[in-house]
Chain A
Amino acid sequence: MKRDFVKFPLHVIFHPFDGFWDMKYERKGKVRVVLTILALLILTLILQKQFSGFLVNFYDPRDLNSLNDIIYTLLPFFLFCVANWSITTLMEGEGKFKEIVMATGYALLPLILLNLPMTFISRIMVSEETAFYYMMNSFAGIWFIYLLFVGIMTVHQYTASKTVITMILTVIAMGIFVFLGTLAISLGAQIWYFIYDIYRELIFRT
């Protein structure tokens, strides 16, 4: 329990090459850990919007919506995993879908570990010190990108340049998915309203 949830994730974020290797070949990664990380990330986002200090909190309280936070965290996450999987199966990647999910999930850990404490530290900051808050936030972001890069590279056994190319292609694929998704939803809505209109027509005629 402690090894799965604490020791191994920390090992991964501090020694990414070694950690991701172990995750893939020693089967040390667990999907339930990834789900926990996602849940904590959502919690971090919600807490950040609600409780970060007045000086750094620019969210309009009327727009806060935890359901949106959940959707806008989970959706990009799985979109990235699916897009990356679709691209890498075509580009001789060795990773399975489960491994992509795990690599992406473990890479998110720094965002929690840095942003959650910073949320509460920001409450005792004055405006000259807020630069430190933003620095830590961007540091967490950079760390996440680095881990994601190493994770994808290790999982698929790619070279660095090929990883960069697949990353770019993944982003493009994500865009295509979103486009197709909206297209399908709007077409579906059209069909639905067509059927619904016919139904109403019949109801009012008889």
Chain B
Amino acid sequence: MVRRSARSRNRRQEPAVKQLPWRQLVNPYSPIEVLSTDQIEAIHQSSLVLLERTGMRVLHEEARKILKAAGADVDPTTKMVRFDRGLVEEKVALVPSEFTLRARNPERDITLGGNRIAFCTVSGPAYCTDLDRGRRTGTFADTCDFLRLAQSLNIIHQEGGWGFEPQDLPPETRHLDMYQAQCRLLDKTWQPWALGRERSVDAIEMACIAFGTDREGLAKRPPFLTVVNTNTPLQLDIPMAEGLIEYAQAGQVVCVTPFTLAGAMGPVTLAGTLSLQNAEALAVLTLIQIVNPGAPAMYGAFTSNVDMKSGSPAFGTPEYTKAALASGQLARRHGIPFRSSNTNTSNTVDAQAVYESAMSLWGAIMGHANLVYHAAGWLEGGLTASFEKLIVDAEMLQMMAEYMKPIEVSEDTLALEAIEEVGPGGHFFGSPHTLERYETAFYSPMLSDWRNYETWKEAGSIDTTTRANKIWKRLLEEYQPVPLDPAVDEALAAYVAKRKEGMPAAGK
């Protein structure tokens, strides 16, 4: 058979960094259910008993008042709030099963709920690290680079809250500079912080400026999702309560996430820790729905275990994975969008970092998380954000995105004729069936090196982490600015300047 050569085409240019295009992902598979319906019910009932019999200590006075007015049983001296199961069930039923977050670029809006899943960068670490400069306290310039990378990686659907702490900025006003940088450098959605009232109000005010809208407009099309941890066991602290009330009132999405570390903050048995997680999540979701009935919210789960020999948290453990899968079942039982994470405990970007991450990711994907928080960049139990790990994770996330494309079974894909045509002992490289499809048939990696040993060796034996280092630098070079409307930019700068009046300046 004579085939026309494809030489008429121009010589192909490979992109410097091979990325999948931006796409909101849908998870087509049935979730893995590690617990039976009866077991899920038993956990849920245990949570309700806990809320009725013991309740939660709510340290924030206003939150206690709000709960009391809605019929919860509040003891002002112990600050304990006990919840009737009727109240909990009535309020939790109000949480919408799906919501859409508005991005600066409408093509980057994301919807969370049902089968949809989105990936979000790491947030919270005190340190950052990369191969060139090592582990260090990050600066404003470093965090801006991390934001640029979050913007440049198509597989990242949301920026998680500036990666790590810019410790050269004073803590009182750090959030103002960071919100401004998030507005400037990203056209995707990004997370603000809920730690205290001021950080929350500033985010809401700055979003009104950025979107040229008012609070009402912002509530109609919320741009924000923010994470609120409970202070497990059975406590809600003051800054987080302040934050959640502000965001809930403004109609923004609060992702309630009990951080239940079995062994330290929860019982060593997963069933017990899951019932504690579920109780705390339901209590805070109840509070949110009292503050603003129908406000969008998420059921976040962060159950892992500690190292019983040091008390420090461990992540990506088998217990973590099982807990993620079970938490997905609980969230679906309540009909609330579910958040999970991509975590590990490794001190460097090595095999441990990746196999623990892989365990976490499988728990998130097969547990049907709608949002995978800390999906890229997390290292060292969340104490450090790594530029190389960001890229390694992006590769894993791209692989997961491809994994979530279901196997198509049709006359076409069964390829009966092609198999018969090639016949026994032949090969498929030249089969017309292959030629029609080969370019997009398989995932083409961004980071993996598939060359044979000798070729790889001759090219310098470059390992994954070093390749990741090259990729993030390349991405930074190629970062495409997403300029803000100058009037908006100016208004944001004016807001920040005004708020900084009388506050400590950098260098303190």
* A and B: interacting chains: no
- Give me the interface of B with A, judged by CB distance under 8 Å: none
Which A residues are closer than 8 A to B by beta carbons? Answer: none
